[in-house]
Amino acid sequence: MRRFKYYTRVVVLFIAFGAGLSACTDDEGNKRTVNLFSVQDDKDFGAQVAAEIEADAINFPILDSAQYPEAYGHLRRITDTILNSGKVRYREDFVWQTKIIHDDSTLNAFCTPGGYIYVYTGLIKFLESEDQLAGVMGHEIAHADERHTTEALTKQYGTEVLFAILFGNDQGTLAQVAKEMISLKYSRNNETEADMRSVDYLYPTGYDARGAARFFERLLDLGASSGPEFLSTHPSPDNRVEDITSYWEDKGGKVGETYKDRYDDFKKSLP
């Protein structure tokens, strides 16, 4: 019965996909991948990917929250502040679970469908103040909240493969998807939208809403040639600083706090 429901769902979705394909373009006239997943599908698929990630201690050495309660307290405070901004659409629908991956060599963070968020110690230690990490977190939350993640996965793997995973019929590909979440390719529009949503999320809070832009500035100042996937893809970091700052100014240009001192405490709580 489970397999029958899977194939029925795929047939129906491909019919819908074919009917709506001609209208599937973005503002620049480029073709976009239709997101045929429901919100519940995002939640179910995200839970499967998260379980795969957390079972893979070699590729994803996750810090134990019981062993590092102070570090997790800092991370959850940042996450909750963003989620309680009143701007996150699926605040009550997605799980919004946060985990820290112990890898000081990796400057990255990512979020699965359904709101499972992973932040690397390398990224936390590279940043200088809490508003910068909040900006990065806002960007990643936006990818899940705007449902960019399943859109990008559909483009990369195809609808049939993803629904096979969702219905438990392709566990081998599930493991591959989990490993590649860190380098998932988003479209230009998705990246820009996530940048702007980060400003929207932070603006009602005490944070300076230009946090993500300040990370770009730090990379540029240091001459960094690589970094998190969302920072290395188009548009270029310098253009993104300009675009984020312009968007922040259009909202009123309210100057928030950086919370550097308590962010230093966060970094000291890490191994």
d(CA 232, CA 165): 29
CA distances from 74 to 78, 83, 99, 230, 269 (A): 6, 14, 12, 23, 9
Tokens read off for 44: 């179910």
Q: Is 92 part of the annotated catalytic residue set?
A: no
| Residue 46 to residue 40: CA distance in whole angstroms | 10
Helix/strand/coil for 209: coil
Please state, in angstroms and rounded to a whole number, the distance separating the CA atoms of residues 175 and 193.
Answer: 28
| Residue 259 per-residue DSSP state | -
Listed residue (58, 50, 193) closest to 115, CA to CA: 50
Query: Do 144 and 90 touch, CB atoms closer than 8 A?
Result: yes
Annotated catalytic residue within 28, 128, 130, 140: 140
Are 201 and 143 contacting, i.e. CB atoms less than 8 angstroms apart?
A: no
Q: What is the residue whose two structure tokens read 């230093």?
A: 264
Residue with tokens 């096979």: 164
Q: How many CB atoms lie within 10 A of CB 207?
A: 26
Name the residue among 222, 226, 192, 215 with its Cα closest to residue 132.
215
**Chain centre to alpha carbon of residue 193:** 12
Q: Are 131 and 214 in contact (CB under 8 A)?
A: yes
Tokens standing for 181? 């979440």
Looking at the annotation, which residues are catalytic? 140
